[in-house]
Amino acid sequence: MFELTQGWGIVVRGLMRGTAVGLVPAVLAMVVLTGCSSEPEPDGPAGGAKTAAKSGTESAAKGGTKKAAKGGAVGAAGSPCALPVSFDLAADWKPKAVKDDPEFGLPKQGLVTLVCEIDAKPAGNIGFLRVWTGGGSGDDARKALEAFVAAEAKSRDKVAYSATKAGRYAAAEVTYLNTNEFLDAPKKERALAFTTPRGVVVLHLGGLDSEEHEQMLPAYELAKKSVRSA
pLDDT tens for each residue of 38-61: 334 333 333 333 333 344 444 333
3-state SS class at 10: helix
Of residues 183 and 91, which shows the higher confidence score?
91
Exposed / middle / buried, residue 76 (Cβ in 10 Å: 0-12, 13-18, 19+): middle
Q: Say yes or no to pLDDT of 17 above 50.
A: no
Q: Is the pTM of this model over 0.85?
A: no
Label residue 2 by pLDDT band (50, 70, 90).
low
- The mean pLDDT of 73-94, rounded to a whole number, is 97
d(CA 220, CA 217): 5
Sorting pLDDT into bands at 50, 70 and 90, what band is 87? Answer: very high
Q: Pick the more confident residue, 176 or 45.
A: 176
